[in-house]
Amino acid sequence: MYIDKRTVKKYLNYKGLDSDFDSLIGDVFLEVKSISNPKKLCVLSDVSKENGFYKINKLNLLLKSQDINNLFDDCESIATLVVTLGLAIDKKIDFYAKVDMMRSLVMDAVASVYAESILDELETEITAQTNLYKTMRFSPGYGDLDISLQKDLIEAVGASKYLGIIVNENYLMTPLKSITAFIGFSSKKQLFGSICLTCPQKGKCSVKCGKAE
Amino acid sequence: MKELFAKKVVVLDGAMGTMLIGAGLKVGEKPEMLNITDPQIVYNIHKAYLKSGADIIYTNTFGANAVKMKNYPYREVIEKGIEIAKRAVNDFGYGYVALDMGSIGELLEPIGSLTFDRAYEIYKEIVLIAKNEVDLFVVETMSDLYELKAAVLAVKENSDKPIITTMSFDESKRTFAGCPLLAMVATMEGLGVDALGVNCSLGPKQLGSIVDELVAKCNMPIVLKPNAGLPFIRNGVTEYDVSAEEFAQVMADYVKRGVSIVGGCCGTDDKFIAAMVDKIKGLKPIKREVAPVSSLASGTRYLEIDSPKIIGERINPTGKKLMKEAIAKKDIAYFENQAVEQMQAGADILDINMGIPNIDEAEMMKIAVKAVQSVTDLPLQIDSSDPLAVETGVRYANGKVIINSVNGDDEVLDNILPIAKKYGAMLLGLTIDKNGVPKSVEERVRIAEKIINKATKIGIKKENLIIDCLTLTVGGEQDQAIKTLQALKLIKEKFGVKTVLGVSNISFGLPSRQIVNSHFLTMALSFGLDLAIINPNITEMMQSFRVFNLISGVDENGKDFIKHCGVINNATEIVGTEYSLQDCIIKSLKAKAVSIVQNMLKNQNGLDIIEKDVIPALDYIGDMYEQGKLFLPQLISSADCAKAVCDTIKLTLGGSSLDNGTKIVLATVQGDVHDIGKNIVKTVLQNYGYNIIDLGKDVQIEKVVQTAKEENAKIVGLSALMTTTVKNMEKTIKALKKNIDGVIVFVGGAVLNEEIALQIGADYYSKDPRQMVKILGQLDI
Q: How many CA atoms within 13 Å lie on the side-chain side of B568?
A: 7
Domains: count for chain A? 1
Average pLDDT of the residues of chain B: 93
Distances in Å between the Cα of B234 and the Cα atoms of A61, A186, B239, B240, B270 are 17, 20, 7, 10, 21
What string of H, E and C letters represents the secondary structure of B320-371? CHHHHHHHHCCCHHHHHHHHHHHHHHCCCEEEECCCCCCCCHHHHHHHHHHH
Hey, is the C-beta of B514 within 8 angstroms of any chain A C-beta?
Answer: no
Beta bridge partners of B58: B98
Helix/strand number for chain B, H first, E second: 31, 25
* pLDDT for A212: 33
Write out chain B residues lying below 8 Å of A152, CB-based. 28
Convert B537-594 into a string of H (helix), E (strand) and C (coil). Answer: CCHHHHHHHHHHHHHCCCCHHHHHHHHHHCCCCCCCCCCCCCCCHHHHHHCCCHHHHH
In the predicted structure, residue A198 carries a pLDDT above the cut 80? no
Q: How near does any CA of chain B get to the CA of A116, in Å? A: 18
Nearest alpha-carbon partner for A47 in A59, A35, A37: A59
Residues of A in contact with B172 (CB under 8 A): 37
Give the integer Cα–Cα distance in Å for A5 and B241: 40
**Sheet of B715-719: strands edge to edge?**
B691-694, B663-668, B715-719, B744-748, B764-765
Taking 60 as the threshold, does the pLDDT of residue A213 lie above it?
no
B375 with A99: Cβ contact below 8 A = yes
Q: Count other C-beta atoms under 10 Å from residue B584's C-beta.
A: 27
- The 10s digit of each residue's pLDDT in B188-213 is 999 999 999 999 978 899 999 999 99
In a domain, A160, yes or no: yes
In this structure, of B149-163, B555-569, B707-721, the range with the lowest mean pLDDT score is: B555-569
Q: How far apart are CA B179 and CA A129, in angstroms?
A: 35
Task: Inform me whether the C-beta atom of residue B679 falls under 8 Å from chain A C-beta atoms.
Answer: yes
Residues with Cβ within 8 Å of B764's Cβ and at least 6 positions away in sequence, in order, are B744, B745, B746, B747, B757, B772, B775
Say whether pLDDT at A202 is over 90.
Answer: no
Rg (CA), chain B: 30
pLDDT tens, residue by residue, B522-545: 999 999 999 999 999 999 999 999
Per-residue pLDDT, averaged over A93-110, amounts to 93
HSE (CB half, 13 Å, CA atoms) of B21? 16
Q: Is A212 within a domain?
A: no
Average pLDDT (A76-100) is: 94
- Which of chain B's residues have a Cβ under 8 Å away from the Cβ of A104? 676, 679
| Three-class DSSP category at B287 | coil
CATH number of the domain where residue A59 is located: 3.40.109.40
Task: Using a CB–CB cutoff of 8 Å, tell me whether A14 touches chain B.
Answer: yes
Return residues 147-186 of A near B (CB < 8 Å): 147, 152, 155-156, 158, 160-164, 166, 168-172, 174, 176
CA distance B669 to B667: 6
Give mean pLDDT, residues B159-168: 98
DSSP classification of residue B240: E
The amino acid at residue B768 is: D
Q: Give residue B442's pLDDT.
A: 96
- Using pLDDT thresholds of 50, 70 and 90, give the confidence band for residue A192: low
| Residue A118 maps to a domain | yes
Please say whether the beta carbons of B408 and B470 come within 8 A: no
Report how far residue B84's alpha carbon sits from residue A89's, in angstroms, rounded to the nearest whole number: 43
Are the beta carbons of A147 and B723 separated by less than 8 Å?
Answer: yes
Sort out which chain A residues have CB atoms less than 8 A from B176's CB and list them.
Answer: 86-87, 163-164
Query: pLDDT tens digit string along B270-316?
Result: 999 999 999 999 999 999 989 999 999 999 999 999 999 999 999 99
Contact of B723 with chain A, judged by CB distance below 8 Å, is answered with yes
Q: What is the pLDDT of residue B653?
A: 76
With respect to residue A53, please indicate whether it lies within any of the assigned structural domains.
Answer: yes
**pLDDT-wise least confident of A91-105, B109-123, B236-250, B490-504:** B236-250
pLDDT in tens, B268-281: 999 999 999 999 99
Q: In chain B, whose CA is at the least distance from the CA of A155?
A: B28
The confidence score (pLDDT) of residue A199 equals 65
Using pLDDT thresholds of 50, 70 and 90, give the confidence band for residue B573: very low
Give the percent of chain B with pLDDT over 70: 97
Say which of A43, A108, A170 has its CB closest to residue B233.
A43
Asked if B671 lies within 8 A of A156 by C-beta distance, the reply is: no
> Which residue of A13, A60, A172 is in closest CB contact with B28?
A60
pLDDT above 90 (res B66): yes
Q: Answer yes or no: is A104 within a domain.
A: yes
Residue A144 covered by a domain: yes
B148: Cα within 13 Å, side-chain hemisphere:
35
Nearest CA-CA partner of A137 in A200, A180, A90, A107: A180
Dump strand ranges (E) for B644-763: 663-668, 691-694, 715-719, 744-748
Cβ neighbours of residue B410 under 8 Å, at least 6 residues apart? none
Shortest Cα–Cα distance, A213 to chain B (Å): 9
Residue ranges with strand state E in B570-670: 663-668
- What average pLDDT does range B43-52 have in this prediction? 98
Whether the link from the prior residue into A175 is cis, omega within 30° of 0, is yes
DSSP H or E run through B129: helix B116-130
What sign does the CA torsion over B13, B15, B17, B19 have? negative
Whether the pLDDT of residue B382 is over 90: the answer is yes
pTM of the predicted protein model: 0.90
Closest chain A CA to residue B201: A162
Q: pLDDT value at position A74?
A: 84
DSSP 8-state class, residue A27: H
Please name the residue of chain A whose CA is at the shortest distance from the CA of residue B630: A16
Report chain B residues whose CB lies below 8 A from the CB of A102: 633, 636-637, 640
A191–chain B nearest CA distance, Å: 29
Asked if residues A152 and B28 have their Cβ atoms less than 8 Å apart, the reply is yes
- Report the pLDDT averaged over residues B224-235: 81
Q: How confident is the model at residue A207 (pLDDT cuts 50, 70, 90)?
A: low
SS3 content of chain B, % helix, strand, coil (to 5): 50, 15, 35
Q: Which residues contact B447 (CB under 8 A, 6 or more apart)?
A: B407, B408, B431, B432, B433, B438
Q: Shortest CB distance from B176 goes to which of A106, A164, A172?
A: A164
Tell me which residue in A106, A147, A176 faces B674 most closely, judged by beta carbons: A176
pLDDT at B359 over 80: yes
Collapse the DSSP code of B101 into the 3-class scheme (helix H, G, I; strand E, B; otherwise coil) and give the result.
strand
- Which of these, B533, B539, B374, B558, lies nearest to B469 by C-alpha position? B533
Q: Give the DSSP letter string of A97-149.
A: HHH-HHHHHHHHHHHHHHHHHHHHHHHHHHHHHH-SEE---B-TTSTTS-TTH
Tens-place pLDDT, residues B422-445? 999 999 999 999 999 999 999 999
- B11 or B777: whose pLDDT is higher? B11
The SS3 call for residue B269 is coil
- Closest partner residue to A104 among B111, B238, B679, by Cβ? B679
CB burial of B2-28 (b: ≥16 within 10 Å; e: otherwise) equals: eebbeeebbbbbbbbbbbbbeeebebe
Give the model's pLDDT for residue B724: 86
- Does position B692 have pLDDT exceeding 80, yes or no? yes
pLDDT, tens only, B70-126: 999 999 999 999 999 999 999 999 999 999 999 999 999 998 889 999 999 999 999
Residue B591: its pLDDT value, please? 86
Residue of B28, B141, B674 lying closest to A155 (CB–CB) = B28
Whole-number Å distance between alpha carbons of B293 and B218: 10
Best mean pLDDT range from A165-179, B488-502, B551-565, B755-769: B488-502
Chain B residues near residue A169 by CB distance under 8 angstroms: 671
In chain B, the percentage of residues whose pLDDT exceeds 90 is 79
Residue B501 has pLDDT above 60, yes or no: yes
Q: Which helix (H) or strand (E) holds B429?
A: strand B426-430
The confidence score (pLDDT) of residue B656 equals 54
pLDDT for B24 = 84
Q: Give contacts of A 101-120 with B, CB under 8 A.
A: 101-102, 104-106, 108
Q: What is the pLDDT of residue A193?
A: 60
Task: Sort out which chain A residues have CB atoms less than 8 A from B692's CB and list them.
Answer: none
Q: Is the Cβ–Cβ distance between B65 and B74 less than 8 Å?
A: yes
A13-22, B165-174, B287-296, B570-579: segment of lowest average pLDDT: B570-579
All domains of chain B, ordered by start, with CATH? 2-279 (3.20.20.330), 303-565 (3.20.20.20), 581-652 (1.10.1240.10), 663-778 (3.40.50.280)
Is B375's CB within 8 Å of A98's CB? yes
In angstroms, what CA-CA distances link B354 with B323, B404, B654?
Answer: 9, 12, 20
Helices B539-551 and B513-526 meet at what angle, rounded to 10?
A: 30
> Across the interface, which of B170, B300, B672 has its CB nearest the CB of A172?
B672
CA distances from B23 to A156, B18, B92, B385, B694 (A): 17, 9, 21, 59, 51
Contacts 24+ apart (CB under 8 A), B754-761: B756/B726, B760/B726, B760/B729, B760/B730, B760/B733, B761/B730, B761/B733, B761/B734, B761/B737
Chain B CB within 8 Å of residue A11 CB? no
pLDDT at residue B503 tops 50:
yes
Task: Enumerate residues 34 to 63 of chain A having a beta carbon within 8 A of any beta carbon in chain B.
Answer: 37, 43, 45, 57-61
Query: How far B718 CA lies from chain A's nearest CA (Å)?
Result: 17
| Range of the structural domain that residue A92 is part of | 5-193
What is the C-alpha end-to-end distance of chain B, expressed in Å?
Answer: 67
Residue type, B220: M
A169: closest chain B residue by CA: B671
Interface of B with A in 178-237 (CB under 8 A): 178, 200, 231, 233, 235-237
Asked if A98's CB is within 8 angstroms of B336's CB, the reply is: yes
pLDDT band at B567 (very low <50, low <70, confident <90, very high): low
**Can you give the pLDDT at residue B410?**
96
- The answer to whether B374 contacts chain A (CB < 8 Å) is yes
Give the gap in angstroms from C-alpha A58 to the nearest C-alpha of chain B.
Answer: 5
Contact by Cβ (8 Å): B193, B219? no
Interval B752-772 mean pLDDT = 92
DSSP B174: B
Do A98 and B724 count as a contact with CB atoms less than 8 A apart? no
Rounded distance between C-alpha atoms, residue B318 and residue B305, angstroms: 26
Distance from CA of A152 to the nearest CA of B (A): 7
Has residue A110 got a pLDDT over 50? yes
Q: What is the pLDDT of residue B559?
A: 92
- Is A49 among the domain residues? yes
Question: What pLDDT does B50 receive?
Answer: 98
